[in-house]
Structure 1
Amino acid sequence: MKKILFFACLVVFATSCISNKRITYLQNLPDNTPIELNEFIPFAEVDYEYVLQPFDIVEIDFATSDPELIEAFSFQNSQSMGGVGGNSGGGGGSDPLYFRGYSIDKNGDVEVPKLGKIRIAGLTEEEAKEKVQEDINQFFKEEIYVKLRIAGIRYTTLGEFNSVGVSVIYKNRATIFDALANSGETTILGKKNKLFIIRQYDGGTKIHQINLNDRSLLASPFYFIQPNDILYIEPMNIRQFGNADNLTASLALIAGLLASTLLIINLVTGN
């Protein structure tokens, strides 16, 4: 009986342990060969330049030596934003650029006062800026400077993240690790080799599987997240024993029960 309980205890701990290989970022899979600290890791092989899509939000500012020329755009001035910056999670905090930014409609247009609708979907930030600049140059004789940029990167986290929901990073470029840090990291039970990115494209939606354990991710086009990405990370099978918060307590309880049972058997048998 004692042998059975002993082996049962070993099985419980053996099946509940989580290997470091399953939770360590940026390993050299599959051989896990160590690299020198000063070894150069190539940047993403593709030039990352986001193409604007319908339902994106952009910030457009105007500047000129004659303030009267841009009175129609004064509500859009970035100075009225109150110093927006940094990262914002999905739970609290306001998102002023959602209310003050220009939303690209389903046809790919933004509607700018005085200028009307301008098609910018399918263009990069720089190309969209030049497009708005061309239109405003035709409307005004005086020189007006245009600044256009993405109004933050909005993305959604689901699954084994410590913070799930919609988050915003107020940058025009963010990596997958920026998103992880901004969302409180993954739980210890998240399968880091099973992170799925649900991404919008012109022709529809695609699902990409990402392996956070693999160092080659740094040279992948999915190293950068894009606006409206949905990040979902699968739970490990050990999830059935409890979540990341109560797993240790559950295992301690099991170990305690087994130890108590062994003690009772020893007392009864006199061994």
Structure 2
Amino acid sequence: MKTLRGLFLLLLAVFSVSCIPHKDTLYFVNKSMALDSLQVVKEMQKPYRVQINDILTIRVKALDQDNVRILNPIDSPNLNMTSGEKSYYDGFTVDAHGNIRMPTLGTINVLGYTTEEIEKLLETKLLSEQFKATANIFVTVKLAGMRFTVMGEVGSPGTKTLFQEQVNIFEAIANSGEIPVTGNKKEVLIVRQYPQGQKVHHIDLNDTAVMQSPFYYIQPNDIIYVKPLRQKTWGTGETFMQNVATVATLLSLVTTSILLFNRL
């Protein structure tokens, strides 16, 4: 009986350690204030500055559209082409030197510029070299979708592209199949591209303070990695009842083995 009691206590200890705490499965946990307090969270979003390998979609409009036709992409006859594929073929890719090449305008450096700054740059260049102010030149520059990669403990890992101006980390995760119970929401890594190379940043999705982080909004070509919790490597159940069933099965197996051994 002492052996069974000791074994039961051991299994109980393993069970308690292997359980995934409920608080670790949540988002937006207020760790700094009372749970019922009113929070005013300021989202920190700086204007995105164009990096190498970004793809820009550029449209030029004028009173006489025929005069700017060469600057605009031609509609593809391939109706099966996706929006991402059209952007790849019709957009302007920022090369390793931070330049794009446009018809009649030649090579233009856009590295480190915002899309608004590129619009003004192109308008000024067109008006000074090819058109008069009466042409009413109007330029729009956008990123050809927000492309990012999600890896690790998510329902649908892979590279995604969302066609919107800005995407926060929760939207990126939601579009990647959500984080399962075995995913570590407290330590999510973001690998971000900078002119001098790549850097790894850590964010805690379990804390509401993440919305004040400079990494709350993702950037094009970000790599998001969700680590697994230690409980996954232990092979225990994900829920309370699964752990109960595991302990009960192990206890039954060991008890049966002991009883059979004692009969010999």
TM-score relative to the length of structure 1: 0.82
Summarize deviations over 1:143-196 as a string: whole Å, max 9, x none: 331111111111111221222221111111111111111111122212111111
User: Number of paired residues?
Assistant: 257
The answer (yes or no) to whether the contact 1:241–1:250 under 8 Å persists in 2 is no
The answer (yes or no) to whether the contact 1:188–1:244 under 8 Å persists in 2 is no
1:172 partnered with 2:174: no
Question: For residue 224 of structure 1, what is the aligned residue in structure 2?
Answer: 217
Question: For residue 67 of structure 2, what is the aligned residue in structure 1?
Answer: 69
Which among 129, 138, 150 is matched to residue 145 of structure 1? Answer: 138
What is the 5 A alignment of 1:62-141?
Answer: 62-75=60-73, 95-138=85-128, 139-141=130-132
Give 1:99 shift. 2.2
User: How far apart are the structure 2 equivalents of 1:232 and 1:267?
Assistant: 49
Aligned-residue identity in percent: 32
Question: For residue 11 of structure 1, what is the aligned residue in structure 2?
Answer: 13
Aligned letter for 2:126? I
Quote the RMSD (CA, aligned, Å).
3.2
User: How far apart are the structure 1 equivalents of 2:89 and 2:236?
Assistant: 38
Give the unaligned 5+ runs of structure 2: none
Cα distance 1:243–1:69, how it changes in 2: closer, same or farther (>3 A)? farther
Give 1:4 shift. 2.8
User: How far apart are the structure 1 equivalents of 2:60 and 2:185?
Assistant: 44
Summarize deviations over 1:59-115 as a string: whole Å, max 9, x none: 10122232311221342569x999977xxxxxxxx5431222111111111111111
1:235 partnered with 2:228: yes
Aligned letter for 1:129? E
User: How far apart are the structure 2 equivalents of 1:68 and 1:243?
Assistant: 67
Question: For residue 56 of structure 1, what is the aligned residue in structure 2?
Answer: 54
Give the unaligned 5+ runs of structure 1: 86-93
Summarize deviations over 1:213-235 as a string: whole Å, max 9, x none: 11111111111111111111221
The answer (yes or no) to whether the contact 2:237–2:246 under 8 Å persists in 1 is no
Give 1:263 shift. 6.0
The answer (yes or no) to whether the contact 1:195–1:233 under 8 Å persists in 2 is yes
TM-score relative to the length of structure 2: 0.84
Cα distance 1:81–1:242, how it changes in 2: closer, same or farther (>3 A)? farther
User: How far apart are the structure 1 equivalents of 2:73 and 2:205?
Assistant: 42
Compare 241-250 and 16-25 and name the one that shifted more.
241-250
